[in-house]
Amino acid sequence: MKDEILLKKSNDDFSDRVLQIVMQIPFGKVTTYGHIAYALGSKKSSRMVGYALNSVHNRDEIPCHRVINRNGELSGKLHFATPTLMRELLEGEGVEFIGEMVNLSKHLWIPETV
């Protein structure tokens, strides 16, 4: 039981730190799950970043739509109200696409390591 509480607390702390970084992503920019994980000192935890975002993707004040995969693809789009909403939100911020991928050379934002 004690280990469960410690694990939950640890995961909650990680999720809170993920959200703190996501809240810093500038309008018109994107970052990747991997860049967030690296900034948190846990470069192999990009999947955990995705899990943290899945729990809050429907909260409008958290710009989850600005987090994409390392190739520039919108791998989280299925967690939005419609399959096109994530792209629509990004395009509304002026984010450009090359086919189905975000133009990372123009829109990538890399968070500082914390």
Q: Specify whether 64 is catalytic.
A: yes
The helix/strand/coil state of 85 is helix
Span between the terminal Cα atoms of the chain, in Å: 30
Average pLDDT over residues 9-32: 89
| The pair of three-digit structure tokens given for residue 34, joined into one six-digit string | 């991997």
Question: pTM above the 0.85 mark?
Answer: yes
pLDDT > 60? residue 6: no
| Annotated active-site residue in 64, 86, 90, 102 | 64
What are the sequence ranges of the domains in the chain?
2-107
Q: What is the structure's pLDDT at 9?
A: 45
Domain 2-107 CATH assignment equals 1.10.490.10: no
Chain-centroid distance, C-alpha 41: 16
The predicted pLDDT at position 57 comes to: 75
- Residues 27-49: tens digit of each pLDDT: 999 999 999 999 999 989 999 99
- Other residues' Cβ atoms within 10 Å of the Cβ of residue 93: 15
pLDDT in tens, 40-78: 999 899 999 999 999 887 788 999 999 999 999 999 999
